[in-house]
Structure 1
Amino acid sequence: MALIQCQFYSETLSLSIGINALIPQHSALQISGSGKLPVLYLLHGLSADHTDWIRHSSIERYAEEKGIAVVMPSVGRSYYTDMKFGSPYFTFLSEELPQIVRALFPISDRREDTFVAGMSMGGYGAFKLGLSFPERYAAAASLSGGLDIVSRMNGLNNFQPHELIAIFGDVSELEGSTNDLFYLMDKLKAYEGNKPMFYQCCGTEDFLYQDNQAFRKRAIDLGIEVAYEDGRGEHDWNYWEPKIQSVLNWLPIETNL
C-alpha cells in the first residue's frame, strides 16, 4: 500500500489543498472489473483535517486487505458545503476532486466502484454526497454523523451558532435546501434510478445520538433502507476505529482478490 501525501491547486477554491491517498501497490491483482481501483472517499470531522484517519486509525491496513483506494481530502470547518460566507467546498468535493483524483491515480469512474464515508461532520458530508448524487455513489456511510443540522441550528447541540450561520445562512435558508439531509431524503424517495446503500452508526452516549435517531426515523418513514448499528460508544476514536472496519466489510467492493 502506498501512502501519498498530495498538495495541489484547486481552481474551485482558489487555494492549495491537501489530500492523503492510499493506493494499493499490487494493482494488477487488486483492480476491479473496470480495470481500475475501487475508491472510498473518507471524510474528516469538524476539528480535523486530511491526516486524521491516518493518525488515529489503521485505515491503511484495513484498506490494503480489501484492495481499495482511499482518498482523504481536507475541507476545514466547512461542513462540506458551498458556504454562505466562504468557499464552495461542496462543489470542490463533488465535482473537482474526483476529476483530479482520477487524473492522478488509477481510480475507477464507475458508480459501482465509488463509495463515501465519514465521521461526525464527515458523516454529514458522506450522506450529503450519497443523497445528492445517487447516480455517482454505490454506498455512503456515516459514523456518528451530524445529520439533523436543522435541529442544531434551532438550538439542539448547537455549540457554534455564529459559525453555522456563516456556513448555511439562517435556519430559514437551511431548512428545505440542498444542505438539509431530510429534504434530500425526500428527493431520493422520488428518484427512480438505483439508490445508494446507506450505513449509519452512532454510540448511545454520543451527543449526536438524538440527531441520528431523528435521521433514522425519517429514513424508515420514507422507506429508505439504511443499515443501522446501535450500541454503547462516545464521540471518539475508540468508537470509530472498529466501526470503519465494519464499513469496509459492508461495502459492496468488487475486486479480483
Structure 2
Amino acid sequence: MAFLQTNIYSNVLEMEVSVNVILPQKTEKKIGTATKGNLTDVPVMYLLHGMGGNHSVWERRTSIERYVANLGMAVIMPSTELGWYTDTTYEMNYWTFISEELPKICHELFPQLTIKREKTFAVGLSMGGYGALKLGLTKPESFRAVASLSGAVNLADRIEDLLAIKGRGFWEGIFGPLENIQGSINDPIFLLDQLVASGDDVPNIFLCCGEEDFLLHGNKTMATKLTAYNIEHTFETGPGNHDWVFWDKWIQRVLEWLPLDK
C-alpha cells in the first residue's frame, strides 16, 4: 500500500484542507507485507472522522492501512473540522465540500479511482457515521453501500444527545434552530423517507453501536425504520462504548461486510 499525506485547496471552503489517502500498490516482500495493487477502476471508500478527530485519526487509532492491505481499495480520509458534514449557518459549506467538491478533486488527483457507483462506499464513526449515512441517502446514485459506526443517525428526535455534548449555541451555529432539524437535509430519518418515496435505489446500509453507547437508542430507531421499509441493511450491537476500542474492532467487521470482489 501507499500512504499519502496531502493538502488540497477547497474552493468551497476557501481554505487548505488536509486529506490522508491509502492507495493500493503492488508489493512483493517475504515478511508478510505483500499487497496487491490495481492501476485502474480502484474501489474507493470515503472514511469520515468524528468530533475531535481529523484526517489522521483513523490512521493513528486503528490499523486501517493493514486492514485494507489486501482489499485492493483506496481509502480517502478528509479533515472536516467540527462542521458535521453540513452547510453551516456561519457559511462554511462542509456538506458541499464533502459531497461534491472532494470526490471531483480526488478523481483529478488519482485518476485510477473508480467512477462506478457499485465500487464506491462511505463509512464513518459518530459524527462521521452521520455524514456517511447522509451521503448515502442524498447521493444514492454515487454510493453502493454506507456504514455508520456509533453514528448520530436520529438527530431530530434525540436533541438531548446533542446537548449532552455541547451547548445549544454550538449546535445552532451548525444547524440553525434545533427545532428545524426535523424534516430538513440534516435529518437522516427525513432523508430516508424522501429517498423511499422517490423510488430510487437505496444503498446497502450497515449500522453498529456499542451496547453502552449513549447513541444506541437513536441507532435502534433508525434500524426499526429501515426494517419497516423492508430496506436491505445490517444492524449489529456488541459490548462497548463510544470509543476507539469499539471502532477499531468494528471497522474490521465493516470491511468484511462491504460488497467488494475479494
TM-score category, normalised to shorter length: over 0.9
TM superposition shift of 1:192: 2.7
Q: C-alpha offsets along residues 111-149 of structure 1, whole Å, 9 cap, x if unaligned?
A: 011000000000000000001111100000000001111
For the 8 Å contact 2:59–2:65, the answer to whether it is kept is yes
| Greater relative contact order (CA < 8 Å, ≥ 6 in sequence) | 1
Match of 1:10 in 2: 10
Structure 1 unaligned regions, length at least 5: none
* Correspondence 1:238 to 2:245: yes
Q: Report the AA paired with residue 122 of structure 1.
A: G
Q: Report the AA paired with residue 179 of structure 2.
A: S
Distance 1:58 1:6, change over 3 A: same
Match of 2:47 in 1: 42
Match of 1:163 in 2: 170
For the 8 Å contact 1:31–1:38, the answer to whether it is kept is no
Q: Does the residue aligned with 1:248 lie in a helix, a strand or coil?
A: helix
Supply the distance in 2 between the matched residues of 1:254 and 1:162 (Cα, whole angstroms): 46
Q: Does the residue aligned with 1:65 lie in a helix, a strand or coil?
A: coil
| Identity of matched residues, % | 42
TM superposition shift of 1:61: 0.6
Q: What TM-score, normalized by structure 2, do the two folds share? A: 0.92
Aligned length in residues: 252
For the 8 Å contact 1:186–1:222, the answer to whether it is kept is no
For the 8 Å contact 2:171–2:178, the answer to whether it is kept is no
For the 8 Å contact 2:207–2:236, the answer to whether it is kept is yes
TM superposition shift of 1:225: 2.4
Q: What TM-score, normalized by structure 1, do the two folds share? A: 0.93
RMSD: 1.7
Structure 2 unaligned regions, length at least 5: 28-34
For the 8 Å contact 2:161–2:214, the answer to whether it is kept is no
Q: Does the residue aligned with 2:20 lie in a helix, a strand or coil?
A: strand
Structure 1 segment 57-96 matched on structure 2, within 5 A: 57-96=62-101
* Correspondence 1:132 to 2:129: no
Supply the distance in 2 between the matched residues of 1:30 and 1:193 (Cα, whole angstroms): 33
Q: Report the AA paired with residue 26 of structure 2.
A: H
TM superposition shift of 1:186: 0.2
